[in-house]
Amino acid sequence: MLDRNNPKPLYAQLEDLLRTSIMNGEWQVNHAIPSENELSKTYGLSRMTVRAVITMLVKEGLLYRVQGKGTFVSEPKISTRSPAYMGVREQLEQMGYEIRTRLVKFEKIPANNNIASALGITPGDTVTYIERIRYTGDQPISLHRSYIPVSLCPSLEEADLEGEQLCVIVERQFGYKTASVSESLESVPANAEEAELLQIDRGYPLLMLEDVNKSADGSIFEYTKVLFRGDKVKLHFEYEA
């Protein structure tokens, strides 16, 4: 259940519990979940804490409240993968059937004009360049090229870049959390280097996704170009008009 010695705050632990209960279908759609008082008794928390957790899940759209009646499980969203809530990159990472990452390059380089303009820095400023390839099985599906300003993340560690998401590492080490994303998509032919890395022919269609991540204070802390093999990847969007 809940572990008060766990450094993870109780509300976050409860959030996970409720979230999995919803996801696993333990609580039926449009049926009431246990009341705030019941939950607070069950888990030994105050009602306020329970309520705070439920409020978060309500904001996310997983639950809805009806005064005097209770709290209910929402209809499953059409779009869990709505781009309004998740970057295209996260979307793809969730699709993942046993996705494996290989780190190809990790180095500090001076930013060229293109990179500098994307990151809002001066050309020549040092950035950390990270190149990775994603595989499903032994087939490469995408090539990731990330640029992170050294001025914002000076001592970025190479460790775990194959096992952890870059944004997770950046948030943990430097506190930068994505508040807004600017993405662009286009179709480009593979050049020689890309073709070799992705094991396809030169000129083959790639889906290029550019991703600029901003934190709440407006700092641009990551610029990533992802090249997807056109034959392997299809992006999907769902939204209301």
Partner DNA sequence: TGCTATAACTTATATATACAGGTACAGAAC
Partner DNA sequence: GTTCTGTACCTGTATATATAAGTTATAGCA
Closest CA to 102 of 162, 168, 157: 162
Q: How far apart are CA 72 and CA 58, in angstroms?
A: 9
Q: Of these partners, a second copy, DNA, none, which one is at the site of residue 136 (CB under 5 to 8 Å by kind)?
A: none
Least CB distance from residue 150 to a second copy, whole Å?
21
Q: Map the footprint of a second copy across residues 153-182, applying CB under 8 A.
A: 177-182
Residues 220, 217: Cα–Cα separation, whole Å:
9
CA dihedral 13→56→223→117, nearest 10 degrees, is -150
Binding mask 28-57 for DNA (x = CB under 7 A): -------xxxx-----xxxxxx-x------
Give the tokens for residue 236.
């999907």
Reference 147, options 210, 56, 66, 82; nearest CA is 210
Q: Any contact of residue 123 with a second copy (CB under 8 A)? A: no
Task: Give the integer Cα–Cα distance in Å for 10 and 136.
Answer: 36
- As measured in angstroms, the least distance from the Cβ of 8 to DNA is 8
Q: Which of 202, 144, 150 is nearest to 174 (CA)?
A: 150
Residue of 39, 166, 206, 226 interacting with a second copy (CB under 8 A): 206
Among 21, 62, 70, 129, binds DNA (CB under 7 A): 70
Binding site for DNA (CB under 7 A): 9-12, 35-38, 44-49, 51, 65-71
- Residues forming contacts to a second copy in the complex (CB under 8 A) are 29-30, 59, 61, 64, 72, 74-75, 77-79, 82-85, 87-88, 177-189, 203-207, 214-218, 228, 230, 233-241
